[in-house]
Each structure stands twice: as structure tokens, then as C-alpha cells.
């Protein structure tokens, strides 16, 4: 899987998910993998980028979507909602979600 999301020309939408893991990791890796796969199968999904620091437990995942409606559907997906609840009770101390409209993009180098 590519590290960089191959997104189209703006405008489109991003969901910036910043999180601090708790000490509990039971089932986390499998669920995270499953949620990435499930998100990628959603209509309107454009891509995802993710970086997690092992040392601090802090991570940022940015997913990209073609509309606010697609984001809303993903948020309300029943399997995703179950994972969200486990996220609050088990896997995360803290998280923040920001939904943002990408207006402009540029870059350097070949995406890998």
C-alpha cells in the first residue's frame, strides 16, 4: 500500500484523526487493519495517509473523501461504530477528529 494518498485535484474532503493510544492494545492491530480495508471499500473514499509513533503512542491518520456525505456514511457504518466504541473504552486515551475541505495541494517528488 502506498504511503501517500493519490488524491485528485481539489476540492475534496479530509478527516484528520489525531490520537493518543492507551496502554491497552488487545485486538487493536486487527481492528485498525480491518477499518482501513472497510474504509477503502466505501463509496467516495479517495485514500489515506497514516503515521504513528511507537514511542509516544501518538498518531495521525488522514483519510480523504469526495464528499461530506461519504464521510457521514462512513462515520455511521455499523462495524465502524462498534470500533469507535472500543476506541473510546479500550484503545485511545484521547482523540480529535477534524473534518476539513481541501482547497489546494502541491508537492515535491514522486509519491511512493
CA atoms within 13 A on the CB side of 65: 23
Question: What gap in Å lies between CA 92 and CA 65, rounded to an integer?
Answer: 24
- The Cα 8–Cα 65 span in angstroms is 10
Q: Which residue lies nearer to a copy of itself by CB, 34 or 49?
A: 49
- 46-75 residues in contact with a copy of itself (CB under 8 A) are 49-54, 56, 58-60, 62, 68
Query: Cβ neighbours of residue 67 under 8 Å, at least 6 residues apart?
Result: 13, 44
CA angle 81, 1, 94 (to 5 degrees): 35
Nearer to a copy of itself, 26 or 75 (CB): 75
The footprint of a copy of itself on residues 14-53 (CB under 8 A) is 14, 16, 18, 20, 49-53
- CB–CB of 63/48 below 8 Å? yes
Residue 109 interacts with a copy of itself (CB under 8 A): yes or no: yes
At closest approach, how far in Å is the CB of 85 from a copy of itself? Answer: 10
Q: Give the range of 23-31, 32-40, 89-97 binding a copy of itself by CB under 8 A.
A: 89-97
The residues that touch a copy of itself, with contacts defined as CB under 8 A, are 3-5, 7, 10, 14, 16, 18, 20, 49-54, 56, 58-60, 62, 68, 87-88, 92-112
Amino acid at each position: 500500500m502506498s504511503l501517500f494518498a493519490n488524491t485528485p485535484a481539489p476540492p475534496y474532503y479530509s478527516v484528520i484523526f489525531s490520537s493518543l493510544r492507551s496502554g491497552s492494545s488487545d485486538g487493536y492491530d486487527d481492528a485498525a487493519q480491518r477499518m482501513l480495508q472497510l474504509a477503502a471499500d466505501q463509496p467516495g473514499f479517495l485514500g489515506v495517509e497514516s503515521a504513528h509513533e511507537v514511542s509516544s503512542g501518538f498518531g495521525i491518520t488522514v483519510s480523504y473523501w469526495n464528499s461530506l456525505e461519504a464521510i457521514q456514511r462512513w462515520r455511521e457504518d455499523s462495524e465502524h461504530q462498534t470500533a469507535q466504541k472500543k476506541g473510546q473504552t479500550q484503545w485511545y486515551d484521547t482523540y480529535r477528529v477534524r473534518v476539513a475541505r481541501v482547497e489546494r495541494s502541491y508537492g515535491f517528488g514522486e509519491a511512493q
